Amino acid sequence: MTAFDLTPPTAEQRDALVEDLSPEERRVLLQHGTEAPFCGMFLDNKRDGVYTCRLCGLPLYRADAKFDSGTGWPSFFRPFDPAHVRTVRDTSYGMVREELVCARCGSHLGHVFPDGPPPTYERHCLNSVSLGFTGVGEALPDPLQRGEGRL
């Protein structure tokens, strides 16, 4: 079981969080868009830490699960905690895929594919704009003021 509170933000909290998003962040996180490949700020990030949800701050992926998939988007082979990421069937664009969303706030993160490395053989292909990053020893973002702490 996760040590983080997965209760969704209230309507008021969500409105306040959405207010701080850029137009591109809104397009991707709220309207299930995709950023262009090879341009995201986290594609080449090599720092040790945790990638968090850009909207609600929930830890999503550890840096040690990141790998270079060659696709142009940050890719991970396992989530920080399986309870922190949900999959939703996505049939847009004439394809059947599994969309990844934040389990706490429902923001669009990317998609998961069965072509990753061991041990999971999964590739969680994410939009950089959907993510925040917290380095080891830094305080986790706490936009919902839940007091969830440090890494």
29 touches 108 (CB < 8 A)? yes
Whether 56 sits among the annotated catalytic residues: the reply is no
The total of other beta-carbon atoms located within 10 Å of residue 128's CB is 21
Q: Is the pLDDT of residue 1 over 90?
A: no
Q: Is 92 helix (H, G, I), strand (E, B) or coil?
A: helix
Determine the Cα–Cα distance for residues 80 and 63; give it in Å rounded to an integer: 9
125 touches 73 (CB < 8 A)? yes
Q: Is the pLDDT of residue 127 over 80?
A: yes
Give pLDDT tens digits for 53-89.
999 999 999 999 999 999 999 999 999 999 999 999 8
> Position 7: which residue type?
T
CATH homologous superfamily for 11-135?
Peptide methionine sulfoxide reductase. (2.170.150.20)
Q: Is 9 helix (H, G, I), strand (E, B) or coil?
A: coil
Sorting pLDDT into bands at 50, 70 and 90, what band is 145? confident
Sorting pLDDT into bands at 50, 70 and 90, what band is 147? confident
Sorting pLDDT into bands at 50, 70 and 90, what band is 91? confident
Determine the Cα–Cα distance for residues 140 and 149; give it in Å rounded to an integer: 6
Global pTM reads 0.93
